[in-house]
Amino acid sequence: MPAMLPGAPHLARADGALRLGGVPLAELARRFGTPLYVYSQAAMLDALAAYQRALAGRRHLLCYAMKANANLAVLQTFARAGCGADIVSGGELARALAAGMPASRIVFSGVGKTRAEMRQALDAGVRGFNVESLAELQRLSAVAVELGATAPVSLRVNPDVDAGTHPYISTGLRDNKFGIAHDEALAAYRLAASLPGLRVTGIDCHIGSQITQAEPFVDALDRMLDLVAAVESEGIVLAHIDLGGGLGIRYADESPPAADALVARMLARLDARGFGTREILLEPGRSLVGNAGVLLTEVQYLKPGAARNFCIVDAAMNDLVRPAMYEAWMAIEPCVERAGPARVWDVVGPVCESGDWLGRDRALTVEPGDILAVLSAGAYGMTMASNYNSRPRAAEVMIVRGEAVLVREREVIESLFAGERLISG
């Protein structure tokens, strides 16, 4: 067990009972059933406040990368706190608008925007498009001209820095699909400036996720500023600099920089290089929500064996795929502590895949019926959930000022095949 619970101080143990936002988690499992995602609104707002503090007095826009957790109540929470959204699909745009997020605070990222998505975003009047290729520039120009609109454009540049994170979540290296190569960016800006229906507004980058050091961010910033100077020497003005997201959180014993310290360091670098008055955009995802949420699951069976001991729970890789997909380590804690010696368990789900595990080699004192909490599950948990094995997706609850609010109903089985048809004849 980590020395301090990830998610503290919002997540804490008192009298043996694990609580989030003061509410005992085992009670929520009884009341709403399992598997259950539970989020603390206060934890999300605290995480946001760290960024806002550091940016106070600067022209800025924080765009929450909603793919981390797209529940409407989460988006509403951030929208009301003045935050915008970074979206990567038409579906996310619709969700953000449904949650009350103003279009003027939404930026549209992603390598594969379709024409329909571009039209949808132009009709909504989003704040801007982060464009990732020359072909996308051409398409966006054509779509905007067709609509008689002007698309605000920022180019996502690939600064070619190593974010030092898992290869699947590293995005700023030359050999991955994201962004425009640093040495092709100048030509791309010339093209953007020449195409009808486009207005160049800024530059952006996003170098990866779960980055636990400040250096890759500062390196990327330096590479970006070189480019800003080169682009502007040709008379193309970049009104904003978008530094993306990617700040990591503590799952186990990582010690990522605090958001305010990291932002302060980046602002100091901007000042030192004479770009201190630019509007700054950031796109944090995981660092705003990751440690604000847990996944609750009930122990079904214990299956001790010669080689390994299995603790079979009712949550699975379809509910939380990070362990199976990235071999991610996430803390697992009993919601009510039991006396007695611990045993080492592999905590696994019921899905028919050997990769269906939530945690391996965990020392736990458990019995069937106990509720376990998978910690740090507020980001890339529910948004990556699937219906594999025809499992309905979990319910979601948010703790708002000490009260548990159901913010998504548990999916009903019938809805899983409601759109399917039997063949007639």
Ligand X SMILES: *Cc1c(COP(=O)(O)O)cnc(C)c1O
Among 90, 244, 293, 378, binds ligand X (CB under 6 A): 244
Per CB under 6 A, 172 contacts ligand X: no
Q: Rounded CA gap, 293 and 20, in Å? A: 8
For residue 64, list its beta bridge partners: 85
Tokens of 345: 């368990």
Q: Rounded CA gap, 127 and 60, in Å? A: 13
User: Using an 8 Å Cβ cutoff, are 209 and 246 in contact?
Assistant: yes
Q: Which is nearer to ligand X, 34 or 69 (CB)?
A: 69
CA torsion sign for 59, 89, 78, 253 is negative
Specify the stretch interacting with ligand X by CB under 6 A; choose among 97-105, 145-153, 283-291, 353-361: 283-291
Query: Residue type for 97, please?
Result: L
Specify the stretch interacting with ligand X by CB under 6 A; choose among 60-68, 138-146, 338-346, 354-362: 60-68
Q: Find the shortest distance in angstroms from Cβ 247 to ligand X.
A: 6
Among 28, 54, 61, 65, binds ligand X (CB under 6 A): 65
- Alpha-carbon distance values, 115 to 144, 254, 387, 425 (Å): 10, 41, 28, 38
Strand stretches in 253-389, DSSP E: 279-282, 293-303, 310-313, 332-334, 343-348, 357-364, 371-374
Per CB under 6 A, 284 contacts ligand X: yes
Specify the stretch interacting with ligand X by CB under 6 A; choose among 9-17, 61-69, 291-299, 327-335: 61-69
Per CB under 6 A, 128 contacts ligand X: no
Among 90, 179, 257, 285, binds ligand X (CB under 6 A): 285
Tokens of 145: 């001209």
Among 117, 136, 283, 333, binds ligand X (CB under 6 A): 283
Q: Which is nearer to ligand X, 292 or 335 (CB)?
A: 292
Per CB under 6 A, 109 contacts ligand X: yes
Q: Rounded CA gap, 99 and 187, in Å? A: 38
User: Do the strands 293-303 and 357-364 form a parallel or antiparallel pair, or are they unpaired?
Assistant: unpaired
For residue 63, list its beta bridge partners: 84
Per CB under 6 A, 246 contacts ligand X: yes
Per CB under 6 A, 179 contacts ligand X: no
User: Using an 8 Å Cβ cutoff, are 133 and 180 in contact?
Assistant: yes
Per CB under 6 A, 270 contacts ligand X: no
Specify the stretch interacting with ligand X by CB under 6 A; choose among 187-195, 242-250, 271-279, 394-402: 242-250
Q: Which is nearer to ligand X, 34 or 109 (CB)?
A: 109
Per CB under 6 A, 202 contacts ligand X: no
Q: Would you give the binding string for ligand X spanning residues 205-224, x where CB under 6 A is met? A: -x--x---------------
Per CB under 6 A, 71 contacts ligand X: no
Q: Which is nearer to ligand X, 285 or 293 (CB)?
A: 285
Q: Of 18, 24, 71, which Cα lies nearest the Cα of 44? A: 71
Q: Find the shortest distance in angstroms from Cβ 282 to ligand X.
A: 9
Q: Which is nearer to ligand X, 217 or 357 (CB)?
A: 217
Q: Is 352 a catalytic residue?
A: yes
Q: Which is nearer to ligand X, 60 or 362 (CB)?
A: 60
User: Using an 8 Å Cβ cutoff, are 394 and 315 in contact?
Assistant: yes
What would you report as the CA-atom Rg of the chain, rounded to the nearest whole angstrom?
A: 23
Distance of CA 177 to the CA centre of its chain: 19
Running DSSP on this structure, what letter comes out for residue 15? T
Per CB under 6 A, 159 contacts ligand X: no
Tokens of 13: 């143990």
Q: Which is nearer to ligand X, 176 or 300 (CB)?
A: 176
Specify the stretch interacting with ligand X by CB under 6 A; choose among 41-49, 244-252, 305-313, 322-330: 244-252
Specify the stretch interacting with ligand X by CB under 6 A; choose among 4-12, 63-71, 316-324, 387-395: 63-71
Burial class (CB in 10 A: 0-12, 13-18, 19+), 274: exposed
Query: Residue type for 15, please?
Result: D
User: What three-state secondary structure class fits 115?
Assistant: helix
Count residues binding ligand X (CB under 6 A). Answer: 17
Per CB under 6 A, 293 contacts ligand X: no
Question: Which stretches of the chain bind ligand X, using CB under 6 A?
Answer: 65, 67-68, 86, 88, 109, 206, 209, 244-247, 283-287
Q: Which residues are catalytic?
A: 352
